[in-house]
Amino acid sequence: VVKISLLSRDWSTLYHNITGNIIGRTQDAAIAAKQKDGNCILYSFSIVQEYTGAGKYSSSRRYSNGVIADKFLCENAK
């Protein structure tokens, strides 16, 4: 891993589509990692905390991930 950058300072709240109740919150990051060929790959990564009630949330877990860019110069990771 060359660089990890949070994409926002705050959590994003998740709401139930029908009831509108809070069901959790997410936070997103971009992760640049060096590959064997010397170039970098850029991943998106999200964590989620499920809402447990009374203003409390569960422990963080992986929510989603994917590739944003599959090849770029590592010195461009900011």
Distance, in Å, from the CA atom of 25 to the CA atom of 27, rounded to the nearest integer, reads 7
Neighbours of 37 (CB within 10 A): 7
Q: What is the pTM of this model?
A: 0.77
29 near 20, Cβ under 8 Å?
no
56 near 74, Cβ under 8 Å?
no
pLDDT tens per residue, the chain (78 residues)?
999 999 988 999 999 999 999 999 999 999 999 999 999 999 999 999 999 999 999 999 999 999 999 999 998 887
Distance of CA 51 to the CA centre of its chain: 18
